Structure 1
């Protein structure tokens, strides 16, 4: 494999880590109602685990409330149970044809705890990116080219790693600001 292929593969893998991080941080509550918090909720739909967003419309009529209206009315009880079991810290009420979800306001302590968890997770994703850098450097060394070739490849990988870590930090900082905004 040549250096360009190694670099392109690692860029793609680092980009995937960023996408995973962006998906992961959507699960952090911000104190405002957002349909995104239900992304992890799965309903057993005729024996098939199906994301709730595929089975219902989700709207936010108020800043602290979501309304979930399943397309199939027979799913209301199943969807309400799945939301309750998901440990989102919300109040779920089944109203027959729809489900109301009340999202409690976050206390300052809760916000700080969420930010602390966000920072811990951000560091874990930084480590994933650094591990990809290490793997790329190992692959470059394994090619057994001359020292200049190896040094150039490692410098390029370091530069790319730095860019992806900065993007990760920027995304984390934006989410932290969103969490701390009352």
Structure 2
């Protein structure tokens, strides 16, 4: 029973890490990266669809994103979606493709980006700790119900703590890597 609780907690922590990884990938770091557009959706045949589902997105140069829609009729909608987004990049539409020039990051922009990265990392740590607390509560409830001994509870809590420490360390590493990437551009 305790192993089930531990493995479920670890699975949730893995999902948290996956979300963190995606969040960090969508943050622009001065280089053109197709994942920057992952959160932007465009209206396509009446429903909101991710840009990468209606167009080919490539980065032919370090500071340029090229968006080639599969249907030319979606060009204007993609352009509007990019303008509405929080990217802060003006698209250049030549009738066939959309070009996005990723601007140089100023020192101030870098510092703000690093703040956002740290906040995102802190949010992930809070989520991981919340998962730990939830798992520990479930283990304690097993003891209250008389299903496990005190020693099993202690062992279960130690296992959960080890898993938590491991994921917190991974978050720190990811945040430091992203911070280094942003400041070294």
Question: What band does the TM-score fall into relative to the shorter chain?
Answer: over 0.9
Deviations 1:11-59 (A, max 9, x none): 1001011001111112211101111101011110010111110111111
Is the 8 Å Cα contact of residues 35 and 59 (structure 1) preserved in structure 2? Answer: yes
Q: Structure 2, unaligned stretches of length 5 or more?
A: none
**1:163 lines up with 2:166 in the alignment:** yes
1:143 match: secondary structure: helix
- Further displaced range: 132-141 or 58-67: 58-67
Q: Structure 1, unaligned stretches of length 5 or more?
A: none
Q: Which residue of 2 aligns with 1:152?
A: 155
2:104 match: secondary structure: coil
| CA distance in 1 between partners of 2:101 and 2:54 (Å) | 20
Give me the TM-score of the superposition, normalised by structure 1: 0.96
Residue 76 of structure 1 deviates from its aligned partner by 0.7
Structure 1 segments (4+ residues) deviating >4 Å: none
Q: Which residue of 2 aligns with 1:96?
A: 95
| CA distance in 2 between partners of 1:133 and 1:78 (Å) | 44
Residue 61 of structure 1 deviates from its aligned partner by 2.0
Deviations 1:96-120 (A, max 9, x none): 1111111110001110111011111
| CA distance in 1 between partners of 2:71 and 2:7 (Å) | 45
1:1-182 pair list within 5 angstroms:
2-144=1-143, 145-182=148-185
Deviations 1:138-179 (A, max 9, x none): 111111122111111100000000001111111111111111
| CA distance in 2 between partners of 1:134 and 1:14 (Å) | 12
- The alignment of Structure 1 onto Structure 2 pairs a total of residues equal to 181
RMSD (CA atoms): 0.9
Give me the TM-score of the superposition, normalised by structure 2: 0.95
